[in-house]
Amino acid sequence: MNFFAHPTAVIDEGCSIGNDTKIWHFSHIMPNSIIGEKCNIGQNVVISPDVRLGNNVKVQNNVSIYTGVECEDDVFLGPSMVFTNVINPRSAIARRDQYLKTVVKRGASIGANATIVCGNDLGEYCFIGAGSVVTKEVKPYALIVGNPGRQLGWISKHGHRLEFDPSNRAVCPEGKDTYELKDDYVICLDE
């Protein structure tokens, strides 16, 4: 084993866990899930079958990642945030063949107690504020807050609000990388 798992963690056969990943108390990793390298899976986390986590994904306590969810590298999932995977669940109707796919792109962060309604992809380096409810696609570098979630502005790879000058350029105060806003879409010019 090239990863750490607390003795109370349950790891089912048929899953793949990358080197240097840590899995903490009372977490359950289900079959056919794939967890990348250097991930940190907090306490009381459930990773359902066929879920994919990239490298360096941080999953805080009390998060359930359901079938249909894929997180790319460097994603942050805050404490008690929620993914859904069926758009119209009913207890008496089995809809296991109707899971909608949700992709969380590289570098995205989802705050504590946020809810991501299934079928809505989250763009690279977006930031979903604590308690927000995402009901539609999120653009790269977008800052989303509220219920329902609405875009409040743009954010850098380092997590700072971007202030665009008259030429539609912004510089991150921490990373010093430059961003351009064009047609309501942000790109990093330093990639």
Q: Is the pLDDT of residue 1 over 80?
A: no
Q: Is the pLDDT of residue 67 over 90?
A: yes
pLDDT at 191 (0 to 100): 79
Q: What is the pLDDT of residues 115-162, one digit of tens each?
A: 999 999 999 999 999 999 999 999 999 999 999 999 999 999 999 999
CA dihedral defined by 30, 33, 36, 39, rounded to 10 degrees?
-30
In angstroms, what CA-CA distances link 150 with 143, 144, 169? 8, 5, 22
Q: Which residue has the tokens 């946020």?
A: 114
Average pLDDT over residues 29-53: 98
Q: How confident is the model at residue 74 (pLDDT cuts 50, 70, 90)?
A: very high
Full-model pTM: 0.97
Mean pLDDT of the chain: 97
Question: Identity (one letter) of the amino acid at 87?
Answer: I
Q: How confident is the model at residue 168 (pLDDT cuts 50, 70, 90)?
A: very high
pLDDT at 10 (0 to 100): 98
Average pLDDT over residues 42-51: 98
